[in-house]
Amino acid sequence: MDITQASFWLALLNIIFIDLILAGDNAIVIGLAARKLPQQTQKKAILYGMFGAVIIRIVATIAVIWLLQIPWLLVVGGLLLIVIAYKLLTDNEDHKDVKAGTSLWSAVWTIIVADAAMGLDNVIAVAGAANQHIGLVIIGLCISVPIVVWGSTIFIKLTNRFPWIIYVGSAVLAYTASHMITEENRLHGVFEAHPLWRWIFVVFIIIGVLLAGYLKNRQTANRTAS
């Protein structure tokens, strides 16, 4: 992909935004894992843990990009990403069960393992947004993961203050998911022959995810109020 083309920068921005919108939980885990360490050691644990997490995320994403070349796996990945987009709107998980490390390397290990366990959504989303370009994956993760680690508190506060950011993120994920499905080789001919169907399908998925998430949240709010 040519870096002088607008499509390259749009794809890169999409990857960074997806990583930021999905990484709130990961950022919380990083803070919890290092909370019992001295302040100076905390910085080292976060730095080393972030480095390990980036390496694992890059390897995992490249593996997923390779797997997505297998027939019908783009459809499977797209369907998984639709579920992830919905869960982004409706999940309210806490992480009180995350064990805080009592030494530098135990905290680093906790950060890396927790990020790997929680990073499946990021990996699938980034692989889909990268359009099978490994360079984009590496650049995007190298930019976004440090932002997540060092700016996590600010970003979490922003999403809490402006809930619409989560809906924008979910819409981006839904778009990426629907785009993945339409790029499946076995379905490519159908959407190429009828371009309007592609956009109808994309819009249908985006609206469906946002509406389902909104209705679920309203139902939860009504149940809590009563």
pLDDT per residue over 126-142, tens digit each?
A: 777 877 678 887 888 77
Q: Which two tokens stand for residue 138?
A: 């590496």
Host H or E run for residue 30:
helix 24-33
The CB-based long-range contact list for 162-166 (8 Å cut-off, 24+ gap) reads: 165/21, 166/21, 166/88, 166/89
The whole model's pTM is what?
0.71
Q: Considering only residues 182 and 150, tell me which one the structure prediction assigns the higher pLDDT.
A: 182
Looking at residue 76, what is its pLDDT?
Answer: 86
Looking at residue 186, what is its pLDDT?
Answer: 81
Residue 23, pLDDT > 70, answer no
Looking at residue 210, what is its pLDDT?
Answer: 95
CA–CA separation, 129 and 127 (whole Å): 6
CA–CA separation, 20 and 133 (whole Å): 20
Residue 100, pLDDT > 80, answer no
